[in-house]
Amino acid sequence: MRKPSIDLYHEWLSQPVLEENERTELLQITADTAQIEDRFYCDLAFGTAGMRGVCGMGTNRMNRYTVRRAAAGLAQHIASEGGQNAGVVISRDIRRFSDIFARETAKVMVAAGIKVYFFESPHAVPEISFAVRRLGAAAGVMITASHNPREYNGFKAYGPDGGQLAMAASDRVVAAIQSLDMFGHTEMISDDELGQNPLFEMIGEAADQAFLDTVASHSINPEIITQTADDFSLVYTPFHGTGLRPVTAILDRIGVKNLIVEPHQAVADPDFSTVKSPNPEDMEGFALATELARRHNASLIVGTDPDADRVGVVVRDASGKYRTLSGNQTGALLCEYVLSAKQAKGVLTPRSAIIKSVVTTELIDAIAKAYNVTLFNVLTGFKFFADRIAKFEHEQSFTYEFGFEESYGYLPFPYVRDKDAVSTVMLICEMAASYHARGMTLYDGLIALYEKYGYYAEKTIPIVLPGKDGMERIAHIMQSTRENMPDEFGSIKIVRKQDFLENREYLSDGSSVALGDYPKSNVLKFYMADEATFVAIRPSGTEPKVKLYFSTAAGSMDKAEGQLNYIMGAVRSRFGL
Mean pLDDT per segment of 10 residues, for the chain of length 577 residues?
94 96 97 96 83 96 97 97 98 98 98 98 98 98 95 97 93 94 88 96 97 97 95 97 98 97 98 94 94 96 98 95 96 98 96 97 97 96 95 97 97 98 98 96 97 96 86 90 92 94 91 90 93 91 83 96 95 85
Task: Based on the fold, state whether residues 15 and 65 are members of the same structural domain.
Answer: no
How far is residue 526's CA from residue 575's CA, in Å, rounded to a whole number? 14
How far is residue 273's CA from residue 390's CA, in Å, rounded to a whole number? 40
How far is residue 238's CA from residue 262's CA, in Å, rounded to a whole number? 8
Closest CA to 214 of 419, 431, 412: 412
Farthest-apart Cα atoms in the chain, separation: 69
Helix (H, G, I), strand (E, B) or coil at 175: helix
The CA angle 412-414-415, to the nearest 5 degrees, is: 110
Task: Based on the fold, state whether residues 218 and 336 are members of the same structural domain.
Answer: yes
How far is residue 111's CA from residue 539's CA, in Å, rounded to a whole number? 36
Task: Based on the fold, state whether residues 29 and 94 are members of the same structural domain.
Answer: no
Q: How many CB atoms lie under 10 A from the CB of residue 206? A: 10
Helices (H), 345-466: 363-371, 382-395, 421-437, 442-453
Give me the count of residues in the chain.
Answer: 577
Single residue among 396, 420, 453 that ends a domain in this structure: 453
Closest CA to 86 of 149, 13, 18, 139: 139
- With beta carbons less than 8 A apart as the criterion, state whether 100 and 153 touch: no
- With beta carbons less than 8 A apart as the criterion, state whether 212 and 249 touch: yes
How far is residue 186's CA from residue 231's CA, in Å, rounded to a whole number? 58
| φ, ψ dihedrals at 92, nearest 5° | -160, 165
How far is residue 525's CA from residue 534's CA, in Å, rounded to a whole number? 7
- Burial (0-12, 13-18, 19+ Cβ within 10 Å), 454: middle
Q: Which domain holds residue 403?
A: 211-453
pLDDT at 495: 95
How far is residue 381's CA from residue 306's CA, in Å, rounded to a whole number? 18
| φ, ψ dihedrals at 228, nearest 5° | -110, 5
pLDDT at 526: 96
CA of residue 385 relative to chain centroid, distance: 12
The CA angle 52-58-62, to the nearest 5 degrees, is: 25
Q: Which residues pair with 116 in a beta bridge?
A: 88, 200
Cβ neighbours of residue 146 under 8 Å, at least 6 residues apart?
A: 49, 52, 125, 154, 305, 306, 307, 309, 310
Dihedral angle computed from the Cα positions of residues 247, 250, 256 and 259, in that order, rounded to the nearest 10 degrees: 20
Task: Based on the fold, state whether residues 153 and 259 are members of the same structural domain.
Answer: no
Sign, CA dihedral 91-94-95-100, equals positive
Q: What is the end-to-end Cα distance of the chain in Å, rounded?
A: 32
CA of residue 533 relative to chain centroid, distance: 24
Task: Based on the fold, state whether residues 268 and 375 are members of the same structural domain.
Answer: yes
Task: Based on the fold, state whether residues 434 and 472 are members of the same structural domain.
Answer: no
Going by their DSSP bridges, the two strands 488-489 and 409-411 should be labelled as: unpaired
Closest CA to 116 of 198, 5, 58, 26: 198
Sign, CA dihedral 533-538-540-544, equals positive
Residue 377 amino acid letter? N
Single residue among 453, 471, 503 that ends a domain in this structure: 453
Q: Which residues pair with 88 in a beta bridge?
A: 116, 139
How far is residue 347's CA from residue 370's CA, in Å, rounded to a whole number? 16
Single residue among 203, 235, 254 that ends a domain in this structure: 203
Task: Based on the fold, state whether residues 447 and 547 are members of the same structural domain.
Answer: no
Task: Based on the fold, state whether residues 146 and 285 are members of the same structural domain.
Answer: no
Task: Based on the fold, state whether residues 358 and 485 are members of the same structural domain.
Answer: no
Cβ neighbours of residue 371 under 8 Å, at least 6 residues apart?
A: 339, 340, 343, 348, 352
Task: Based on the fold, state whether residues 86 and 154 are members of the same structural domain.
Answer: yes
Q: How many domains does the chain have?
A: 4
Give me the active site residues, please: 146
pLDDT at 485: 92
Task: Based on the fold, state whether residues 248 and 295 are members of the same structural domain.
Answer: yes
CATH number at 396 reads: 3.40.120.10
Task: Based on the fold, state whether residues 254 and 187 are members of the same structural domain.
Answer: no
How far is residue 471's CA from residue 483's CA, in Å, rounded to a whole number? 18
